[in-house]
Chains A and B, each alone.
Chain A
C-alpha cells in the first residue's frame, strides 16, 4: 500500500531539495567550473588590482576589487542560472513537467536558488580566499557578525530578484538571452563591483542611481566594504540602513515573483505559451 504523498510545506521543501540536487551534485561532477568560474574571474580582478596599484590608489581598493569579484559570481549565477533558467526549461520541455506536478513553481525556483547559491559560494569563497592571499588584502574582522548578516540579507534580496527576473524573462521569451547579455556588463558598472559605489553615485544621473539601488549587489557590496574596510571608504548609506533596504527589497522581490509566476502561469495556459515553443 503506497504511503501518502507529502503536501503543503513538506511538498515545497521536497521539490526545492530535488531541484537543488542537480545544481549541487551535478555541478560537482563537472570540475571544469574550477577553471572557468574561478581562474578567469581572478584574472579579471587582477587587471583592476594592477591598474589601481599603477595609479597608486589606496591599497583598500585591492580589497574592494576582490570583494567585487566575489559578489560578481553571485550576480552571474542569478542572471544566468536563475533568471534565464525557466525560459531554458521551457525550451527544453522541463517547464511543462514542473507545471504538471503539484509542486509550486516557487518551490522549483527556491530549489534552483539554494542549489545555485551553494555552488556559487564554493566558487565565490575560492575567489575571495585566493584573491585575498594572492594580493595581500587586509580585512578588518571586527564587525564580522554584522557583515555576515548583511551578506545573507543581500543574498536573500539578490536571489529574490532572480526569482522575479525568471518569471519576467519567461514572459519575454525569445529575448531572454539578449536581455541577460545586455544586463551583465551594465550591472557590473552600476553596482560598483570594481570601485566604491559612492564615487559612481556622485557622477551619474539620479535615475541611474535608482536603477543601481534596485540591484541588491550595490548596497550589499557597499555595506560589506564599509564593514570590512572601516574608515577607508565613504558609503552611500550607513550599513544598517543598507541592510534594512536590502531586507525590504528582498521581501518585495519574493512577493512580486510569486505574483508574477501566478500571472505568468495563467497567461501561459490561456495563450498556450507553455505548449507552443514558438510562442
Chain B
C-alpha cells in the first residue's frame, strides 16, 4: 500500500525528503508527484496510466508440455493483481523468473487476454478497446528478435514506425536523433545482420521510442547490454520521461540497482501476486529494523546454507563465491543485531572460518530476498 506521508521523488534518486506540497500548490502542469498524491487521496480523480483490478491469468498447458495421457493442468501465472500506475511514473516490476511479470505486461499490451479481472491502459479497457490501447503504447523486450537482417538499422526502424502511422519525415528525424543518443548513428546504414547483439538491442530500444508512446513497456531492456550501453539506455529513459510529464514507463528488470536508480515505485511480484508496492526508499526502510550482515568466510559453500539459515535469529541467508575468489560471501538478514553471535556460532559449527564481517545498509535486493524468500538472480544456493 502507498503511504501518503512518504516522499515520492520521480526521476531522481530516492530521498527521505520533507513533506511534499499538495496538488493545490503545484503549477499549471501538475507534476507526477502531485498527480500521484492526488490520485492516492482520490483514486477516481485522475485517469491512471495503468490500472489493474484483481487481474488473473490461467494457462491451460497442452501439447508436449502436458504429460501424455494426463488431463492438461491449469497453470496460474497471475492470481489477482491489483495495481495503479500514475501518468508520469516510472514504475518497476520486480520478480523472479516465472513470477508473472511478462504475463502481466502481455495482458497490458493487448497480446494476451486476462482470465479474470479488469485492466486499463490510459483509461482504456485492454480487452474491449485493444485497438485504441495499441495507438498509445509500445514495448521493448530484452533479447527480442531484431528486425529484418537484410534491411539497414534506419530502414528497420522506419518500417516499425509505419505500423504506428508516424509520418515518414518525422520518423526519420526521430530515428536519427535516437540513433545518435544510443551511439548507433555510425551504424544507421548498416544491415541489421551485421550488428552485434548489443547493437541490435540498442536498435530495439530505439524501436520502442520512435513511435512516441504514452505508455512504454520495457521488459528487461538492458539485457545483453554492456555497462556503458546500459547506462545510455537508463539515462535516455529518464530524460525521455522528463521531456513530457504524461509519459509513463513500466519496467521489468533483473538488475536491482537499475530498478533502484530508475523507478519511482516498485512492485515486487512472485507466484502471480504482488507482495509489496512502494517507493524504493520505503521498501528499504521496511528492513531498517532488521540488520543485514555480510560475512566473507572460508570453508563454507552452498551445502552449508541450510544449516546457517536455521541459526537462531536468522531470517534469510544467501551466499555466492566472492568476486575476487577469496572465500564465500554470505549475506544474513537478522531479527536483531544480537543474533550475529548465533551466526558466528553456526559458522564455526559448519567448520567455517570468518575472513571478514560487515554490517550493511539494506538494499532493494535485501527487500526482495525478505519478501520472496530467494534472490532475484539466484547464486549457488539460498536458504
Which residues of A approach B to under 8 Å, CB–CB? 2-3, 5-7, 10-11, 14-15, 17-19, 21-22, 25-27, 29-30, 92-94, 96-103, 108, 266, 269-272, 274-276, 278-279
CB-CB nearest 5 A-B residue pairs: A6-B165, A18-B162, A101-B163, A26-B150, A93-B145
- Please give 14 more A-B residue pairs, beta carbons under 8 A apart, in addition to A2-B212, A7-B135, A11-B164: A5-B166, A15-B162, A18-B159, A18-B163, A22-B150, A27-B150, A92-B145, A96-B111, A97-B163, A101-B164, A103-B162, A103-B165, A108-B163, A275-B112
A-B contact pairs, 24 of them (CB 8 A): A2-B212, A3-B167, A5-B211, A7-B135, A7-B165, A10-B165, A15-B162, A17-B162, A18-B158, A18-B159, A18-B160, A22-B148, A25-B151, A25-B155, A98-B163, A100-B110, A100-B137, A100-B139, A269-B110, A269-B113, A271-B60, A275-B111, A278-B64, A279-B63
B138 at the interface (CB under 8 A from A): yes
Closest partner residue, chain B, to A21 (CB atom): B159
B106 at the interface (CB under 8 A from A): yes
In whole angstroms, what is the CA distance A246 to B321 when docked?
71
Contact flags (1/0) for B51-76 with A, using CB distance below 8 Å?
00000000110111100000000000
- A99 close to B110 (CB less than 8 A): yes
Q: How large is the interface on B (under 10, 10 to 19, 20 to 34, 35 or more residues)?
A: 35 or more
Chain A binding surface, main DSSP class = helix
B360 at the interface (CB under 8 A from A): no
**Contact partners of A22 in chain B: CB under 8 A:** 148, 150-151, 155, 159
B183 at the interface (CB under 8 A from A): no
**Contact partners of B238 in chain A: CB under 8 A:** none
In whole angstroms, what is the CA distance A101 to B208 when docked?
11
Closest partner residue, chain B, to A98 (CB atom): B163
B170 at the interface (CB under 8 A from A): yes
**Contact partners of B163 in chain A: CB under 8 A:** 14-15, 18-19, 97-98, 101-103, 108
CB distance from B153 to the nearest CB of A (A): 13
Q: Which residue of the partner chain, among B64, B151, B167, contacts A26 with CB atoms under 8 Å? A: B151
- A30 close to B150 (CB less than 8 A): yes
Q: Which residue of the partner chain, among B103, B135, B151, B170, contacts A21 with CB atoms under 8 Å? A: B151
- B111 close to A102 (CB less than 8 A): no
B285 at the interface (CB under 8 A from A): no
In whole angstroms, what is the CA distance A269 to B115 when docked?
10
Closest partner residue, chain A, to B135 (CB atom): A102
- B138 close to A100 (CB less than 8 A): yes
- A276 close to B59 (CB less than 8 A): yes
Contact flags (1/0) for B125-156 with A, using CB distance below 8 Å?
00000010011011100001100101100010
Closest partner residue, chain A, to B155 (CB atom): A21
In whole angstroms, what is the CA distance A94 to B15 when docked?
41
**Contact partners of A93 in chain B: CB under 8 A:** 144-145
CB distance from B158 to the nearest CB of A (A): 7
- B135 close to A5 (CB less than 8 A): yes
CB distance from A130 to the nearest CB of B (A): 26
Closest partner residue, chain A, to B217 (CB atom): A100
In whole angstroms, what is the CA distance A2 to B174 when docked?
10
B87 at the interface (CB under 8 A from A): no
In whole angstroms, what is the CA distance A108 to B151 when docked?
17
Question: Which of B60, B110, B165, B166 has most A Cβ within 10 Å?
Answer: B165
